Structure 1
Amino acid sequence: MNRINVVDFFCGCGGTSAGLRNAGLNVVAGIDLDPEAGATFRLNFPEAAFLNYDIRNLSTQVFSQSIEIDASAPLLISACAPCQPFTKQKTTQRKSDARAFLLDELHRFIEHLLPEYILVENVPGLQKIKMNDGPLGRFIKFLGSCGYSYDVKILKSHDYGVPQIRHRLVLVASKLGPVSVPSPTHGPGTANEQYEDVWKWIGDLPEIAAGEECALIPNHRAANLSPVNLQRISLTPEGGSRLDWPEELRLACHKDHTGHTDVYGRLWKTRPAAALSTRCISLSNGRYGHPTQNRALSIREAARLQTFSDDFAFLGSMNSMARQIGNAVPVRLAEVMGLHILEHHGNVTAPKA
């Protein structure tokens, strides 16, 4: 049987593609607007085509002329449309944000390709934006009109072997019969009772100082810190926050503010990490302080907490690489989805006894 082919829309640097490839699927193409993420995708998926397009400007005709897909093999379309319009990271409503409608653009490619499988991943907020006539509601109605079975759930990444507290909406659809989102692989009641923790994933990396890079490990590079921020983190214990600083080191904007205590915080060694954002190497933007060293996470540490392997290299500036990592689907989460889809395909295509 031919391997399931994958076309990864909004592929970014390739988190979903890496997980699906790990599961045994064949990544044939990625599509994304971001040229820096595209450079990383090209580097790590030399076997796949990459289209540097805004999907709104990509016709199905140009798509078909640019990508060769084996019609005899089953096809999976994966998509993680940019999630900023739906995330809780920013509270400002962006009703006019065109990215809120990018999921609608997927309809015409599904109609054109009629893939056997569809995998969509996004932030939970997508489910709450006008469920009846919003992008997710429209997408679900569209799937029904095309004859797809589907399942959609809000998942916790740490339930699937990712060392990070990250809630994601996942939708799996199939043209071959009823399908479900896979059950958790980690946590109470599973074969892996313990969740993956930070130290298991980054504790073996060589020590570096803020602003330094380790030549032995690709992308093991940490952002520099000002003298005052070095002093602040030196006084922050493992799992601690700005509340542990003496009064004279506290920022004026925090002195009468009790919220946002994760900013400038250190991670715990024995817990999953906080959700990584596009600023996951910045001490002032979340609980991204290294558990023991006086610096924020390095690029490689952030990538490991997104379950990228060390042979997955990132290109671009520090800020660009952090954005690519923060926007990525955790590799291990995508791998579990891929294995589940392979199992489903084997069950629905197995000869009847």
Structure 2
Amino acid sequence: MKVIDFFSGCGGASEGLRQAGLDITIGLDFDIRAAETYQANFPEALFYNVDIRELDEKVLAKAFKEKNREKEPLLFVACAPCQPFSTQNKSKSEDDIRRTLLDETHRFISKLKPEYILVENVPGLQKIDKEKDGPYKRFITFLESRKYKIREFIAKSEEYGVPQKRKRFVLLACKSEKMEIPPKTHGEGEGLSPILTVKDFIGDFPVIAAGEIHPVDPWHRCPPLSERNLERIQHTLEGGDRRNWPEYLINECHKTHSGHMDVYGRMSWDKPAPTLTTRCYSYSNGRFGHPDTNQHRAISVREASRLQTFPMGFEFKGSIAEASRQIGNAVPCEMAKQFGLAILQHNQKLK
């Protein structure tokens, strides 16, 4: 099965689908650093580093035809930027042009007629325009008019082999019979493996200090800490937060505020990581402190990538901030792999 990955970012979904056995054929993303990362890791794929609104569907269709002489079935992946729909984005606006990017996929679907479509986004995408003609409602109406059978569900990444708490809204559309929700692989219940933890994925990484770059893996690195933040993390227990600190280290705004306890927190070894954001390299932007109380630093870029289940050899391009943004925006590879396996199995049953 061939894959065209729209809004590909650095390639989290493509990596997982490739591991499942699909053929990553074409990628597309506007972000220059994400494009460089994608091309470094998927040299076999044709890549368009353009705004989707500027790409002619006839051009893409012609290129795909050249790369699909065997006439294999096609999967469209359309994980449009989630920030316009995220509950964490307090400045989201009806005028955000990213809200309409999903609309751009309509013409590509009409032209190439993919057998399968996968959309992954934040929970809330399907609700934000529930009572008006928003992008998701328009997308569903469009797919139904083209006789696609649609399955919608909320996926918890930890139930698909990812050591991270991350809820995502998923749509699977098929030209033939409706797909079932891909079976969970981890959790409680017969035949399921235990939920994976931070320790399972980064427990054996070499020790580094804040601001240090490991000599073997240049992405096993993290930014330096200010003197005050270094003192804060030195007082923080594994799985702890500002409740471990002496009062003089607590920000005034936090002294009368009981929420947002993840800020300046350390991860726990024996639990999944919290949701990794685009600022997962920053100690002050979430529970991104390293769980080892002998390592006073945020998790490294490579550790963050592993908690998103990128393979160790995955190559990133750009600065620490740019690589972390790519990682935080990515679809967890292992979750995408499980979805890919389910799509292949569904397609096999149709033969």
TM-score, scaled to structure 1: 0.95
1:40 lines up with 2:37 in the alignment: yes
The match for 2:67 is 69
CA-atom RMSD in angstroms: 1.2
1-structure distance, mates of 2:266, 2:190? 29
* Deviation, structure 1 residue 149: 0.9
* Deviation, structure 1 residue 252: 2.0
Residue type of the alignment partner of 1:271? K
The match for 2:102 is 103
User: Which stretch shifts more, 227-236 or 63-72?
Assistant: 63-72
Residue type of the alignment partner of 1:113? L
The match for 2:220 is 220
User: Which stretch shifts more, 232-241 or 182-191?
Assistant: 182-191
The match for 1:116 is 115
Alignment match of 1:16 (pick from 13, 31, 55)? 13
2-structure distance, mates of 1:75, 1:297? 37
Do the aligned partners of 2:289 and 2:298 also contact (CA within 8 Å) in 1? Answer: yes
2-structure distance, mates of 1:64, 1:174? 19
Residue type of the alignment partner of 1:245? W
1-structure distance, mates of 2:181, 2:215? 41
The match for 1:317 is 319
* Deviation, structure 1 residue 190: 4.5
2-structure distance, mates of 1:25, 1:103? 23
The match for 2:197 is 197
The match for 1:281 is 281
Number of residues of Structure 1 aligned to a counterpart in Structure 2: 346
2-structure distance, mates of 1:202, 1:273? 11
1:28 lines up with 2:25 in the alignment: yes
* Deviation, structure 1 residue 91: 2.3
Residue type of the alignment partner of 2:307? L
Task: Mark the runs of 5 or more structure 1 residues left unpaired by the alignment.
Answer: none
Do the aligned partners of 1:238 and 1:291 also contact (CA within 8 Å) in 2? Answer: yes
* Deviation, structure 1 residue 87: 0.7
Note the alpha carbon deviations across 1:59-106, whole angstroms, 9 max, x for none. 112323555331511110001100001112122341111111111111
Residue type of the alignment partner of 1:9? F
* Deviation, structure 1 residue 306: 0.2
2-structure distance, mates of 1:247, 1:78? 49
Do the aligned partners of 1:218 and 1:313 also contact (CA within 8 Å) in 2? Answer: no
Please give the residue correspondences for 1:234-273 in structure 2 after superposition, counting only pairs within 5 Å: 234-273=234-273
Note the alpha carbon deviations across 1:17-46, whole angstroms, 9 max, x for none. 000000000001110000100000000000
Question: What SS does the corresponding residue of 1:168 show, helix, strand or coil?
Answer: strand
The match for 1:298 is 300
2-structure distance, mates of 1:64, 1:142? 19
2-structure distance, mates of 1:150, 1:189? 27
Note the alpha carbon deviations across 1:231-268, whole angstroms, 9 max, x for none. 10010000101121101111122122211110000000
Residue type of the alignment partner of 1:52? N
2-structure distance, mates of 1:282, 1:210? 11
Work out the percentage of aligned pairs sharing the same amino acid. 53
Question: What SS does the corresponding residue of 2:67 show, helix, strand or coil?
Answer: coil
* Deviation, structure 1 residue 134: 1.9
Do the aligned partners of 1:218 and 1:310 also contact (CA within 8 Å) in 2? Answer: no
Residue type of the alignment partner of 2:311? S
Do the aligned partners of 2:61 and 2:112 also contact (CA within 8 Å) in 1? Answer: no
User: Which stretch shifts more, 111-120 or 82-91?
Assistant: 82-91
The match for 1:148 is 148
Do the aligned partners of 1:238 and 1:267 also contact (CA within 8 Å) in 2? Answer: yes
Residue type of the alignment partner of 1:92? S
2-structure distance, mates of 1:106, 1:181? 23
Do the aligned partners of 2:7 and 2:29 also contact (CA within 8 Å) in 1? Answer: yes
The match for 1:50 is 47
Question: What SS does the corresponding residue of 1:127 show, helix, strand or coil?
Answer: coil
1-structure distance, mates of 2:24, 2:218? 23
1:337 lines up with 2:334 in the alignment: no
* Deviation, structure 1 residue 277: 0.3
